[in-house]
């Protein structure tokens, strides 16, 4: 990637002025819980409503230094039990407006560290969702997991509860990088966890890599890619580390002198692309790699790849309901976000009110631009889609610059 002009990198080294401002809806007061209830009620009257659900479980035993998520550190299982009780209240309140047993096309459980929950807590969570929604063999069910906390008993339980895809958050295999971000797991342990997950019978086992982490080099990422391919996950998601110490003060603990420069990040990402492609993975969308026999690869080749809030899919739901602290929802173009503060979220639900902190309604211009960005994310032909480049986030821009050699040659 030495051919990328520095001025091109600097030109796109910022958050998009339009879409990035709308990633969080909590600061907007133009839409409230009243508007949300109205849209939920309309959803109830829509025959065959297309619906997905996201459940946010914010709890972690410790905080990784690179973490960008809304997370809560606790060692008290009672705190998690109380959260699940309040989550049950939230799901029940939503069901009062949309009705019971609406079919879910997708169900994703994220965090935090969802598999930090005990086996009884995980079973209770799925009982809550099954009580209010229809979840069947057609539902795409997925969960995020920390490999270090994944036991055989837990993996067997999750598969038995109907989870089809499990994503192990690896980030990097190099021990120096792991130490720098406080997320250590040996390669031997990873091999055992991935093999145990296969034996449990999950339909898809995926993992993630993060580039731009402290201590990463071209040589270290080559070794990481080699080891990841030995693990042979079905899918690999690749994300950029973004430093936001104003909102994430724990990131201050990372030594900035060890963080790759913008150019070095692009070189590292390019090495990931070349390494995974050489190992037989197909690059789909912007940040995802999948085995050649993956349905997502077939969809990409046939220009049928789709994406929504949850990620790449063959058949995305039009509407999304988010449950839990900080969760976002979109119903008929109305986007709302739950309280980002755990106490405020809890207080609202204990008062039997929806924990909405703010939101906005997408107008026609919003919808048009979003459709272009999604099209770019699914079919990243930047020679045709250059008009939306300035609208997308840094990770997209990293990948865009790797892809479009025409642009790099121009240096404009």
Which are the contacts of 371, defined by CB distance < 8 A and separation ≥ 6? none
- Cross-strand partners of 337: 328, 358
Nearest Cα neighbor of 88 from 135, 124, 116, 53 is 124
What separation in angstroms does the CA of 363 have from each of 11, 15, 25, 42, 370?
Answer: 28, 21, 15, 18, 11
Find the radius of gyration of the CA atoms of the chain.
Answer: 21
- Cross-strand partners of 322: 54
111-161 residue pLDDT tens: 999 999 999 999 999 999 999 999 999 999 999 999 999 999 999 999 999
- Domain region containing 225: 6-410
Contact 348, 354 (CB under 8 A): yes
- Cross-strand partners of 73: 60
pLDDT at 269 over 90: yes
CA 218 to chain centroid: 25
The reply to whether 173 falls in a domain is: yes
On average, the pLDDT of the chain sits at 87
pLDDT at residue number 389: 45
Nearest Cα neighbor of 400 from 392, 134, 178 is 392
The reply to whether 237 falls in a domain is: yes
Quick one: pLDDT band at residue 30, thresholds 50, 70, 90? low
Quick one: pLDDT band at residue 6, thresholds 50, 70, 90? low
Residue 244 burial (CB < 10 Å; 0-12/13-18/19+)?
exposed
The reply to whether 154 falls in a domain is: yes
The reply to whether 181 falls in a domain is: yes
Q: For the whole model, what pTM was predicted?
A: 0.87
* Structural tokens at position 395: 């990770």
The reply to whether 1 falls in a domain is: no
pLDDT at residue number 395: 45
318-340 residue pLDDT tens: 999 999 999 999 999 999 999 99
SS3 31: coil
Quick one: pLDDT band at residue 18, thresholds 50, 70, 90? very low
The reply to whether 290 falls in a domain is: yes
Q: 367 or 176, which is more confident?
A: 176
Nearest Cα neighbor of 340 from 350, 354, 326 is 326
Contact 344, 21 (CB under 8 A): no
pLDDT at residue number 350: 97
Token match 């990131």: residue? 251
CA distance 260 to 346: 40
Which pairs with CB-CB distance under 8 Å and at least 24 residues apart come from 247-255? 248/67, 248/68, 250/63, 250/65, 250/67, 251/65, 251/66, 251/67, 253/65, 254/65, 254/66, 254/180, 254/181, 254/214, 255/180, 255/214
pLDDT at residue number 100: 86
CA distance 124 to 146: 20
Nearest Cα neighbor of 146 from 107, 197, 106 is 197
Other Cβ atoms closer than 10 A to 121: 17
Q: What is the DSSP letter of 29?
A: B
The reply to whether 107 falls in a domain is: yes
The reply to whether 212 falls in a domain is: yes
Number of domains in the chain: 1
Which CATH number goes with the domain that contains 75? 3.80.30.20
pLDDT at 397 over 90: no
DSSP H or E run through 322: strand 319-323
Token match 């795409």: residue? 140
């Amino acid at each position: 990637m030495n051919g990328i002009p520095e001025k091109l990198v600097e030109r796109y080294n910022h958050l998009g002025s339009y879409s990035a401002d709308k990633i969080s809806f909590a600061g907007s007061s133009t839409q409230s819980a009243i508007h949300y209830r109205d849209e939920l009620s309309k959803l109830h009257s829509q025959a065959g409503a297309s619906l997905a659900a996201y459940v946010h479980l914010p709890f972690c035993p410790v905080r990784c230094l690179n973490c960008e998520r809304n997370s809560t550190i606790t060692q008290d299982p009672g705190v998690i039990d109380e959260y699940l009780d309040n989550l049950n209240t939230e799901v029940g309140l939503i069901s009062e407006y949309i009705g019971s047993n609406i079919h879910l096309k997708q169900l994703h459980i994220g965090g935090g560290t969802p598999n930090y929950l005990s086996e009884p807590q995980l079973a209770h969570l799925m009982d809550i969702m099954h009580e209010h929604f229809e979840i069947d063999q057609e539902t795409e069910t997925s969960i995020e997991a920390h490999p270090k906390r994944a036991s055989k008993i837990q993996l067997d339980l999750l598969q038995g509860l109907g989870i089809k895809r499990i994503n192990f958050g690896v980030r990097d295999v190099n021990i120096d990088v792991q130490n720098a971000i406080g997320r250590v797991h040996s390669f031997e342990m990873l091999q055992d966890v991935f093999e145990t997950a296969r034996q449990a019978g999950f339909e898809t086992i995926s993992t993630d890599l993060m580039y731009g982490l402290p201590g990463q080099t071209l040589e270290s990422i080559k070794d990481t890619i080699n080891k990841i391919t030995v693990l042979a996950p079905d899918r690999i998601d690749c994300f950029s580390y973004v430093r936001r110490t104003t909102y994430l003060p724990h990131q201050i603990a990372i030594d900035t002198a060890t963080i790759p420069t913008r150019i070095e990040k692009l070189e590292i990402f390019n090495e990931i692309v070349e390494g995974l492609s050489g190992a037989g993975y197909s690059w789909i969308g912007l940040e995802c790699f999948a085995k050649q026999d993956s349905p997502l690869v077939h969809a990409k080749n046939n220009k049928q790849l789709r994406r929504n809030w949850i990620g790449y899919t063959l058949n995305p739901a039009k509407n999304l309901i988010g449950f839990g602290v900080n969760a976002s929802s979109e119903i008929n173009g109305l986007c709302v976000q739950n309280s980002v503060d755990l106490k405020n979220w809890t207080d609202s639900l204990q008062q039997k009110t929806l924990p909405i902190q703010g939101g906005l309604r997408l107008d026609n211009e919003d919808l048009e631009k979003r459709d272009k960005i999604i099209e770019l994310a699914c079919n990243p032909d930047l020679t045709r889609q250059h008009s939306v480049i300035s609208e997308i986030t840094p990770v997209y821009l990293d990948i865009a610059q790797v892809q479009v050699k025409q642009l790099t040659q121009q240096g404009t």
